[in-house]
Amino acid sequence: MDQIHIGHGPSTNEVPFHLPSILDTNTFGPLTFKSDGTFQISIFEDLHFGENAWDQWGPQQDINSVKVINKILEAESPELVVLNGDLITGENTFPENSTLYVDQIVGPLVDRGLTWASTYGNHDYDLNISGTTILAREKMWPNSRTTQMVFGEQAGVSNYYLPVYDANCTSESCVPELLLWFFDSKGGFLYQQKDESGDRIGQPNWVDFSVVNWFLQTNSELVNKYNKIIPSLAFVHIPTYASYVFQEDGVDPHTEPGINDDFPLAPQAQGWCADGRNDGSCDYGGQDTPFMQAVSAVPGLMAIFSGHDHGNSWCYKWDKPLPNMTVAPRNDVNLCFSQHSGYGGYGNWERGARQVLATKSKLKNLEVDTWIRLESRNVVGSISLNGTYGQDRYPATNDSMTYCPTCDYTAT
């Protein structure tokens, strides 16, 4: 979501960066389950590095966000880290330093020998930064699994999939046990482009139709290749309109535990008109309908994880038609928010990261477990996304807050 700060000039010397080595030729093999049949993912959401680098509090936010990442990774042992959009507050960056923040973000991961995969969010696209420039910086690190599989002016960048294999697999010739899909919901502004009035040009904020076609075609090819439906998970920064409608209908704190403070939430295609205008005259244009149709129809897709709305962290099982929606799910799919992870971006909800645990024995029933690890190292919202999720009752999630301990927001 949007939070714009205005200032004058960068001050990058205050921010410690973990620099990549382009001489490092170490390569990581395919993603695999552990020998005990588990595969864990840590999702860091809305880190928002690079805010107000010219003020005392900007670099301090980033320093404290690194501490969050370290605390989470000290308590959890993921096989993969997902950086699920808004890595950087792009409107506050300059051409000279916009992607250097990647190095600071991934430092704790590199130190632990972890690999990661990213999606890009609306704040990762602006006049001085884009998914393309962030990806180029990421690829300087051998730990990065982020890539681009769909090309086109409207497609965005972070659209791809990663297979996860059995522990005994040593090459990509094996049959995957799990697929991880990554989608670019774009938004923000076009890179290095202004209109005739000198204003930034807005970029569509939904998963493009070309990406939907790629997803459906690629999934069909994989099913035919392996002669089976492979369980899958998906990651996209901006949630779909289905989450918006469900929230309007009511989130139960015991059957969909999590904070629910961003009301109404901001879905894909918000602020756009059906005819493609984004002049502020429309609330919602419906352009994410093809994406919703696809993700609710593809067999084996268990859950989609989003962020964007910092004050939401619940999951909803989309298993029935929602009021006033033209899309009805053909397969059950869970629509989940993660947890605001960074000290950048709006809001003071306690920072944390959603964890997802896939267990081979549970994948047979298309089930995964998930919880949120907070900066305090407490665990909240521990649930099983199983056949009875949405009926099972859980403890409500406390609405705890944290504040940047070293930030002086009065100093400018």
In tens, the pLDDT along 300-338 reads 999 999 999 999 999 999 999 999 999 999 999 999 999
| Cβ–Cβ under 8 Å, residues 372 and 26 | no
Spans of the chain below 70 pLDDT: 1-26, 412
pLDDT for 20: 52
pLDDT tens readout for residues 37-58 = 999 999 999 999 999 999 999 9
| Cβ–Cβ under 8 Å, residues 124 and 84 | no
The secondary structure element, H or E, covering residue 183 is strand 178-183
Q: What is the DSSP letter of 6?
A: -
Beta strands in 301-378 (DSSP E): 301-306, 315-318, 333-337, 352-359, 368-374
List phi, psi (to 5°) of 105.
-65, -45
- Collapsing DSSP to helix, strand or coil, 62 comes out as helix
pTM attached to this predicted model: 0.94
pLDDT for 104: 98
